[in-house]
Structure 1
Amino acid sequence: MTTTRTRTPLVDVLRREAYLARLSLFMDDLPRARRRSIYRDLRAELTAAADDSGMTGAVRDLGPAAVLAHGYREAEGRPLPRWTLGALVAGGVVALWVFTTLTYAMGLLDASRSATAEGDATVVTTGSYLWNDITARSSADSISVESTGIGFLLMLVAYGVVTFVVARGWRAWTR
């Protein structure tokens, strides 16, 4: 007697893949080849376990994705960098930097527009913020904002430094 394998229902596939997606958020620090191997094995184990207790039970038996990922990271035997966390924190720092710089520039532009409302000449307002010289020009029919300086270059350097420090990037070279 031969048994034919039935196709896994779509709901079970979605449930399994949702769990593996949550797990991938916590396992980004593992080497890519190791992660792929783990996902392949877990996908096969979950599919096999679903035949016995259903996909909901199989996923529940694995436990929370964060705890399982922590176990895999511990099994790696050495502390690993957390590149995703570093990139997220550095992205937040850069977003804050850009937001505050744009807010400052908009304030200069508002001051320039206010002065333009009183007369017909072009009004130039200048200021300096986070190593950028910002110039706002306003006339009756146009407005412009210009930024010069090394601020945005420093922002890129800050992104790299914050990423490396928060991620503990030196762990990539230590054993």
Structure 2
Amino acid sequence: MKVTKTNLEGCVVIEPTIYEDERGVFFEAYKKESLDEAIGYKVNFVQSNQSISKKGTLRGLHFQEGKHAQAKLVSVVKGKVLDVVVDLRKDSISYGKYFKIELSEANKKSLFIPKGMAHGFLALKETIFTYQCDNYYNKEAERGILYCDNKLNIDWNLPVSKMILSLKDKGLPLFSELDL
């Protein structure tokens, strides 16, 4: 397993060791001991989520606040996404910055997202996306940031006219309007 730091403190890209032969492919998608060592603390996932998205669907930018904050390990089972994470931790050196990466069934990469970050993705193909979370979802703690916030200036590499967005995601507040 190869772990690469991102420009966001504590957020890392995980590339598994791939074993391929005439039968197909094998890799460890998650190994607790290796992840704990890579991030420098123990994480205990308690909930696993999966979404299926049509090409052009943008989900995000979402987060859980307070005691319901979630660290996540995200990956793509089928398809391809542009994955984006924004650091919301005011005491972090990377506060207000974002990181984006392509995750796909082909590259088999995962992204570990620590607590205190907003997360979203754009499906570049029809996609099955998985999230391992270290805290349970709580509707009252759910928050978000508008995907097209000018302060963040995220290039999603797709015109808005071609995106499929929920009404909820279209109405999220700007980064500057967050009360963190």
TM-score normalised over the length of structure 2: 0.21
The structure with more radius of gyration? 1
Higher helix share: 1
TM-score normalised over the length of structure 1: 0.21
Higher relative contact order (CA 8 A, sep 6+): 2
